Structure 1
Amino acid sequence: MYLQHFGLKEAPFGITPDTSFFFTSPHSQEALNTLLVAARSGEGFIKITGEVGTGKTLLCRKFITTLGEEFVTAYIPNPYLEPRSLMLALADELSLTLARDVDQHQLLKAITSRLMELAAQDKRVLLCLDEAQAIPLESLEALRLLTNLETEKRKLLQIVLFGQPELNQHLQLDSIRQLAQRITFHYHLGPLTRDDMEYYLAHRLRVAGFTGSRLFSRGAISVLYRASGGIPRLINIMAHKSLMLAYGQGKQQVARSHVQLAAADTIGVRRARWPWMAALATSALVAACGLTWALNK
């Protein structure tokens, strides 16, 4: 691709949640601090919300890797599961071996026994649920009942919900108001500011091995922020395409025009001025990809 052209060791703007690229903006650091304080306090429910693409999954993984050895973590990335399936997923994360036809009573008994065993070893158990806005209401209620398990000192299981703002709407329903009342720590993860975005770009480039001077011109950064609204996932997608376009033209710096073309080719961006550029953007990206393929043959 363009790695050698720009002196990079790896792609700097991937959209997979790689914790080595975690950027400690004021928002993400405050969210991480909230999670760490809440986890160590031993409370039952913790909630992190944010719009699509604001970095909730990356924050979740960073949080898990930051916890000490006294924590045992269970991670369920897709909790769109009915209560029994969700309990089976938790049992699997806790390394429980169960009979294929285990009934609900034996399932809950096995989970409780495992939680008690870990508590006796001074271990704290954290269940992290990503995309929590998708959890069925009956499964949320089942989770609430699990957090009733406790010693004289603390809960046997803490649950961290990472979800889009729709999660807040679900928690306002009367049917699960008892769960909502148990959320003692929460944080809303917002977009980056323009200054934070500039530091964010520099951080990811540095982690990827870039040692040169400014790679994105000031005009490119202005367009990138206006088009992305500070949403990290959109920033990554457009920054990656902009680097491809600059490489395809043999340029050593990303210019305003490269970002405009990248924005025109990206779904979900603010593109008030650029709808006419969509076809041109696609052609330019195809040409850049074609050049990469030819050079790698």
Structure 2
Amino acid sequence: MYEAFFGLRDAPFSLTPNTRYFLRAPSHGQALELLLVALRQKEGFIKVSGEVGTGKTLLCRLLLNALEGKLTTAYIPNPQLGPTELFEAIADELGVTLDDPSNTHRALSALQQYLIDNAASSGAAVLVIDEAQSMPVETLETLRLLTNLETESRKLLQVVLFGQPELDELLARPDLRQLSQRITFQHRLETLSPETVADYLQHRLAKAGWNGGRLFQPRAVRLISRASGGTPRLINILAHKALIAAYGRGEREITSRHVRQAIRDTDSVVRRPGVLGGLI
């Protein structure tokens, strides 16, 4: 749409998570480093939580890319599964045949044998679960049973949970305390500071092929930061719509006028009190 007009190779603010656009912002960089260090130390359970749109799925994909070819991984993007379905999903990811997934003992035995054989050649396997806040309680209990699979010296399966803050509330339940106590490392993703929002916009533009100066005027950047609350997904939405607005007017610099138009067109931010005032 506007890519050629601004000299871009592709759309810099797409909502599809693309690891090429990852900005090592303070909280996100710390989360990635924590994950890699914890996995190297063979910790059993690791949790990363954050509000909607803060970049959990992008971080999840970065982690999987970093582990590719180094450790055996299983990835479950939608864990709203029952215990039997969880066994089946993990087995499918690992290439394990389960004769009777509904039989907990037999399923665990089959997975344990695979993990023992895998550990001899590749080390511990890593199970990565996105949107973990949607897991039923009985499935979380099954997940705890999977982390019991170990040798005398190390865990056979490490688990990384990515989820919204509801995951923290879920794991605080008394009946899930055994699972909660096994989480040895955890990190809460923060939104971007106003200063980092400017870097974020410029970083994504550069990755998309922009080689000019500041395309977004300072007042436009401040307005995006204020309206989005520093949430990357909302920043992307507003920046994308502002670029469309400028393109429609044939204007090659993004001003606060373009951003205000984007805000009015975005229900998730337009109702924030005071957003359209103060910077206009």
- Aligned-residue CA RMSD in angstroms? 1.4
Given the two structures, how large is their TM-score scaled by the length of structure 1? 0.89
Q: Look up the equivalent residue of 1:58 and give its one-letter code.
A: L
Is 1:169 equivalent to 2:166 in the alignment? Answer: no
Write the distance in 1 (CA, Å) between the matches of 2:77 and 2:159.
Answer: 13
Q: Look up the equivalent residue of 2:131 and give its one-letter code.
A: E
> Match of 2:113?
113
Write the distance in 2 (CA, Å) between the matches of 1:137 and 1:273.
Answer: 40
- Which secondary structure state, in structure 1, belongs to the residue aligned with residue 155 of structure 2? coil
> Match of 2:179?
179
- Which secondary structure state, in structure 1, belongs to the residue aligned with residue 48 of structure 2? strand
Check conservation: 1:19, 1:58, Cα contact below 8 A: yes
- Aligned-residue identity in percent: 53
> Match of 2:91?
91
Is 1:238 equivalent to 2:238 in the alignment? Answer: yes
Structure 1 ranges of 4+ moved more than 6 A: none
Check conservation: 2:84, 2:102, Cα contact below 8 A: no
Q: 1:144-293 maps to which residues of 2 (within 5 A)?
A: 144-269=144-269, 271-273=272-274
CA deviation vs aligned residue, 1:21-46 (integer Å, no higher than 9, x gap): 11100111000011011111111110
Classify 1:119/1:274 alpha carbon distance in 2 versus 1 (closer, same or farther; 3 Å). Answer: closer
Write the distance in 2 (CA, Å) between the matches of 1:213 and 1:271.
Answer: 30
Q: Look up the equivalent residue of 1:96 and give its one-letter code.
A: V
Write the distance in 2 (CA, Å) between the matches of 1:73 and 1:60.
Answer: 12
> Match of 1:283?
none
Classify 1:24/1:247 alpha carbon distance in 2 versus 1 (closer, same or farther; 3 Å). Answer: same
> Match of 2:76?
76
> Match of 1:61?
61
Write the distance in 2 (CA, Å) between the matches of 1:169 and 1:246.
Answer: 43
Write the distance in 2 (CA, Å) between the matches of 1:27 and 1:132.
Answer: 20
Which runs of 5 or more residues in structure 2 are unaligned?
none
> Match of 2:21?
21
Given the two structures, how large is their TM-score scaled by the length of structure 2? 0.94
Check conservation: 1:263, 1:271, Cα contact below 8 A: no
Check conservation: 1:264, 1:274, Cα contact below 8 A: no
CA deviation after TM superposition for structure 1 residue 273, in Å: 4.7
Q: Look up the equivalent residue of 1:193 and give its one-letter code.
A: S
Q: Look up the equivalent residue of 2:142 and give its one-letter code.
A: A
> Match of 2:48?
48
Classify 1:229/1:115 alpha carbon distance in 2 versus 1 (closer, same or farther; 3 Å). Answer: same
Which runs of 5 or more residues in structure 1 are unaligned?
276-297
